[in-house]
């Protein structure tokens, strides 16, 4: 539900546009650009919104009717969410939007995203409005009993369940040496001083050598080399052994480290994104029923509503935020 072409969009589709019903214009007034339920978006309000974006140096605002339609689409969307917030009794101005924005973007910087959106004619306020809409979808889902309150306790419960279901992972280092004599000497060296792993591994570069120990899933290893995986599973942390593997020349020296268990704080951003994803999807389903019964009429001067966008009456589509060509 944010702007198009974001390099990373978390919440699995929650940043794409929600469809609005396409209704024939029944109510018309020269002073009204659109009706959303009992509310109106006046021509003056639309013009002020267009002018504000054109006056903003960070926004590459378009010219003419096409840009008016783009801005009107955003105003209609916002009005739909305002109406839904009142209907379901949720706060129309939820807190924590900057934090939610970062959850939605993942590793991308918010300022970089806003800059991209500005290049396509959308203001910072447009972006934050889309974040508000995601928050409202979540709140609506919670209010209707379709999702859990996103509390720390709920996230931790999901974390604990995930640990129980997570495949076993360990820190694993592998050094591919040319022969058994070298393997025996390498095992002895590493048992005497495990901190020398990186130095020793650098002496035997190759596709089978890991420059440093790294997390490995036992079940994935078993699919590639079942005998090696079984040996790893039976070796306690700190153990080092050598073995041969079919298809790999020479001998492998294998250093088995501690089990890899991500901390709650390490995975909390992913847990929050997953919870948001689920709640927003549930909220969208709830909202769809309400939205379908909401009268939305667009002044024919600007066009008509088609699949969530205000488009010219004679056809053509203005790209909504988050949609592809």
Q: How many domains does the chain have?
A: 2
CATH number, residue 72 = 1.10.4030
User: pLDDT at residue 55 above 70?
Assistant: yes
> Do 253 and 270 share a structural domain?
no
Return all residues near 153 (Cβ < 8 A) that are at least 6 apart.
none
Average the pLDDT over 56-80 and give the result.
Answer: 94
* Predicted local confidence at residue 6, as pLDDT: 36
**Distance between CA atoms of residues 60 and 266, nearest Å:** 38
Closest to 255 in 3D by CA, of 168, 173, 170: 173
Give the residue numbers spanning the domain of 48.
32-155+266-311
Domain assignment present for residue 187? The answer is yes
Domain assignment present for residue 4? The answer is no
* Predicted local confidence at residue 164, as pLDDT: 63
Domain assignment present for residue 23? The answer is no
> Do 131 and 107 share a structural domain?
yes
Average the pLDDT over 183-205 and give the result.
Answer: 95
> Do 151 and 60 share a structural domain?
yes
Contact (Cβ atoms closer than 8 angstroms) between residue 73 and residue 133: no
166 Cα distance to chain centroid? 21
> Do 117 and 39 share a structural domain?
yes
Domain assignment present for residue 316? The answer is no
* Predicted local confidence at residue 13, as pLDDT: 38
Average the pLDDT over 56-76 and give the result.
Answer: 94
> Do 213 and 79 share a structural domain?
no
> Do 62 and 210 share a structural domain?
no
> Do 277 and 252 share a structural domain?
no
E strands within 226-295?
240-243, 251-259
> Do 198 and 275 share a structural domain?
no
pLDDT in tens, 144-183: 999 888 788 888 887 777 766 676 789 999 999 999 999 9
> Do 286 and 144 share a structural domain?
yes
> Do 270 and 252 share a structural domain?
no
pLDDT in tens, 243-285: 999 999 999 999 999 888 778 887 888 888 888 889 999 999 9
* Predicted local confidence at residue 324, as pLDDT: 38
Sheet strand arrangement including 251-259: 214-217, 169-177, 251-259, 240-243
């Amino acid at each position: 539900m944010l702007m198009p072409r974001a390099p990373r969009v978390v919440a699995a589709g929650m940043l794409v546009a929600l469809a609005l019903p396409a209704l024939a214009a029944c109510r018309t007034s020269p002073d009204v650009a659109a009706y959303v339920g009992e509310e109106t978006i006046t021509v003056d309000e639309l013009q002020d919104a267009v002018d504000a974006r054109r006056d903003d140096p960070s926004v590459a605002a378009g010219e003419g009717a096409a840009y008016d339609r783009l801005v009107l689409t955003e105003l209609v969307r916002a009005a739909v969410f305002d109406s839904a917030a009142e209907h379901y009794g949720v706060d129309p101005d939820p807190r924590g939007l900057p934090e939610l924005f970062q959850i939605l973007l993942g590793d991308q910087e918010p300022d970089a995203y806003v800059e991209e959106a500005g290049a396509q004619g959308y203001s910072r306020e447009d972006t934050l409005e889309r974040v508000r809409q995601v928050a409202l979808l979540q709140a609506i889902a919670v209010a209707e009993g379709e999702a859990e309150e996103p509390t720390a306790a709920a996230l931790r419960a999901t974390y604990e369940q995930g640990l129980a279901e997570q495949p076993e992972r360990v820190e694993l280092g592998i050094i591919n040496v040319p022969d058994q004599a070298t393997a025996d000497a390498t095992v002895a060296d590493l048992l005497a001083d495990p901190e020398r792993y990186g130095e020793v591994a650098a002496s035997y570069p190759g596709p089978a050598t890991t420059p440093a120990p790294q997390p490995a899933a036992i079940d994935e290893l078993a699919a590639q080399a079942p005998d090696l995986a079984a040996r790893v599973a039976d070796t306690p942390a700190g153990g080092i052994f050598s073995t041969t593997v079919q298809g790999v020349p020479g001998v492998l020296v294998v250093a088995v480290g501690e089990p890899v268990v991500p901390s709650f704080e390490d995975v909390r951003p992913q847990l929050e994104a997953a919870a948001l994803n689920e709640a927003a999807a549930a909220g969208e389903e709830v909202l769809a029923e309400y939205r379908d019964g909401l009268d939305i009429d667009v002044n024919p001067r600007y066009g008509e509503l088609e699949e969530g966008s205000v488009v010219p009456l004679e056809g053509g589509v203005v790209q909504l935020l988050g949609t592809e060509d």
